[in-house]
Chains A and B, each alone.
Chain A
């Protein structure tokens, strides 16, 4: 049976941009292992030559004329941002 090792948790948490404290780590390890073992049931079924289904209706992606439909609402959207300045979103310094 597959298990969610602490190495898996560290790697996956980094990919998911999450932190877990030492306390949380122990709790989540057992629960994630339980879930992944539950999910593992699918491996017993032979699915050779079955085309994956990613969308229940299999509709064609619509295209639309390349026209502007939305107006610029920058002030409205920036009003709810945690930190902005001069119409820009602020983040910690990225380039030295």
Chain B
């Protein structure tokens, strides 16, 4: 029951095999019983969920159900929810109750989805393991000694554990795809601008993308139909028509060319991951796709570029936390400067402070050109690499992450080794293109993720290629024995 997909649940609800209230009760009891071991939720919205489920059932009885009415979801605690705490994984926002809903929350509410709660995450989405949360680390349901990946750690673990069929996430450098890979589920990062950032707590505004963690590409297509679209309240939202993503899931891949970047398939790639990539290649060849080797010549500089640009934007975005208007405020400030400094130093965790420091440094007089300007120049070269590649190929394939889930604490004291968890994912954020992580194997009982990326606004192609892969393989149907 609790490993059913959104599509399966939607069908069951339509056929009245059970009600949304029954399903919600069941999942809430699962969360109550089992989440203490995982810590995937920061807030469980028990009463509100049951109310939404009642409303969904009534709506269905009135013949007004949408494709997702009554579907339970988890929302990353980065999306503002009116009347429900939005902490962003930080002590700074531990007391923050947003007076409004984020765009995507409005959309899911309007469609009749049921929010079971707000999921755990690395503080301000800064991290690749979930360990940077003020509320404690989330555990990986495949192995409770290991991380589920991050920053959308709680969403990934909750979906993998079957607490929710799907959850929202955000991806600034891999924060949807990497946890999806480490948790054995599907993770879609849409094109920058495809999903409104309104009401999504800002980390790095030119990189942040809202997206989905699901069991299948079909589920991601169903939910993208709800959350994608133009929103005038986000100045970078793009006014491009939204296709029905479910309509193209079964298109043939006969005319599809997939590129394998030589920079991502190097001799130091983990042999088990390399073997999974090779198996996936054979599946795609059977489906009719053609493979070519390509080059993304500047992609190896994505890490350094990202760890200049993202902290630079973060240091500016996080300047808003001043202890005056909302969020944490220190006790008895002696003057305004003391109020700012102590509120921020008490409210932010270690990794967030580090990134604010790096960002402030690279934007400061004397360093701006050498770091920030230079990084944005290389960002253009990385975008050019992708644009050149997409003249030749429809999709680019690579591993999602360089390893399977690592142990809690293993990288916690070494920010640089943690940053390397995202070597295959951050370049897509710099280029703004969409990417998806697909379960594609197991190594010692831990999931391996395959990443596909496509050109701007080609989510339909990504979902199509993932769906057909999932019809041919069973990796996405493997569940932890949690």
Contacts and interface: CB of A to CB of B under 8 A. Distances in A.
Interface of A: 4, 8-9, 11-13, 15-20, 28, 31-32, 34-36, 38-43, 45, 47, 50-57, 59, 61-62, 64, 73, 76-77, 79-83, 89, 91-94
A28 B354 contact: yes
B123 to A, nearest CB: 15
A32 B354 contact: yes
B414 to A, nearest CB: 8
B329 interface: yes
Given A39-B358, A92-B339, A93-B335, 19 more contacts: A12-B357, A16-B344, A20-B345, A31-B354, A36-B361, A39-B308, A42-B305, A47-B381, A50-B377, A52-B373, A52-B377, A56-B383, A57-B238, A57-B432, A62-B232, A80-B97, A81-B325, A82-B326, A94-B335
Interface string B298-309: 100101110110
Nearest to A8: B361
A43 B370 contact: yes
A47 B339 contact: no
Contacts of B207: 56
B428 to A, nearest CB: 10
B430 interface: yes
Contact of A38 (B324, B373, B419, B433): B419
A55 B432 CA distance: 8
B364 A38 contact: no
Contact of A16 (B301, B356, B376): B356
Nearest to B206: A55
B15 to A, nearest CB: 42
B333 A92 contact: yes
A60 B433 CA distance: 18
Contacts of A94: 335-336
Contacts of A82: 323-324, 326-329
Contacts of A59: 193, 236, 238
B443 to A, nearest CB: 27
14 contacts: A11-B364, A17-B319, A28-B357, A32-B361, A39-B304, A39-B358, A47-B377, A53-B380, A56-B431, A82-B328, A89-B324, A89-B325, A92-B334, A92-B338
Given A32-B357, A59-B238, A80-B97, A39 B362 contact: yes
A91 to B, nearest CB: 6
A46 to B, nearest CB: 10
Contacts of A79: 99
A41 B371 CA distance: 10
A18 B353 contact: yes
B46 interface: no
Q: Which 4 A-B pairs have the closest CB atoms?
A: A56-B432, A52-B376, A82-B329, A53-B380
Interface string B89-105: 00000011111000000
Interface of B: 95-99, 192-193, 206-207, 232, 235-236, 238, 298, 301, 303-305, 307-308, 315, 319, 322-329, 333-342, 344-345, 348, 353-354, 356-362, 364, 370-371, 373-381, 383, 415-416, 419, 429-433, 456
Judged by DSSP, the binding face of A is loop
Judged by DSSP, the binding face of B is helix
Q: Which of A45, A56, A59, A92 gathers most chain B CB within 10 Å? A: A56
Contacts of B232: 62, 64
Given A17-B340, A61-B235, A80 B326 contact: yes
Contact of A56 (B206, B324, B334, B415): B206
A17 B341 contact: yes
Contacts of A39: 304, 307-308, 358, 362, 371, 375
Contacts of A51: 377, 380
Contact of A45 (B95, B301, B362): B301
A50 B362 CA distance: 19
Given A47-B381, A53-B379, A80-B97, A19 B301 contact: no
A12 B419 CA distance: 22
Contact of A35 (B307, B322, B376, B456): B307
A88 to B, nearest CB: 11
Nearest to A64: B232
B354 A35 contact: yes
A82 B94 CA distance: 12
A80 B358 contact: no
Contacts of B192: 56-57
A39 B334 CA distance: 37
B415 A31 contact: yes
B304 A57 contact: no
A50 B357 CA distance: 27
B327 to A, nearest CB: 8
B7 to A, nearest CB: 31
Contacts of B308: 39, 42
Given A53-B383, A56-B192, A17 B307 contact: no
Contacts of A83: 329
A25 to B, nearest CB: 11
B337 A81 contact: no
Contacts of B193: 57, 59
Contacts of A42: 301, 304-305, 308, 371, 374-375, 378
